[in-house]
Amino acid sequence: MNTQTKNITIAGLCLALAMVLPFLTGQIPQIGSALSPMHIPVLLCGFLAGGFWGLLVGAAAPLLRFALFGMPPLMPMGIAMAFELATYGLVAGLVYRMLPGKPIHVYIALIIAMVAGRVVFGIAMYLLMKSAGNVYTMQMFLSGAFVKAVPGIILHLLLIPPIVLALEKSGFLGKGKR
- The alpha carbon of residue 34 and the mean position of all alpha carbons in its chain are separated, in whole angstroms, by 14
Our CA dihedral for 37, 122, 83, 17, rounded to 10 degrees, sits at: 0
Residue extents of the structural domains in the chain: 50-170
Task: Please report the pLDDT score of residue 176 as a whole number.
Answer: 41
126 CB-near residues (< 8 Å, 6+ apart): 136, 141
Task: Please report the pLDDT score of residue 43 as a whole number.
Answer: 98
Closest CA relative to residue 42, chosen from 103, 90, 97: 90
Task: Please report the pLDDT score of residue 174 as a whole number.
Answer: 65
pLDDT in tens, the chain (178 residues): 789 999 999 999 999 999 999 998 877 767 777 889 999 999 999 999 999 999 999 999 999 999 999 999 999 999 999 999 999 999 999 999 999 889 999 999 999 999 999 999 999 999 999 999 999 999 999 998 888 899 999 999 999 999 999 999 998 886 444 4
Closest CA relative to residue 120, chosen from 145, 95, 143, 94: 145
H or E stretch covering 65: helix 51-69
pTM of the model: 0.94
Task: Please report the pLDDT score of residue 24 as a whole number.
Answer: 86
**What does the chain come to in residues?**
178
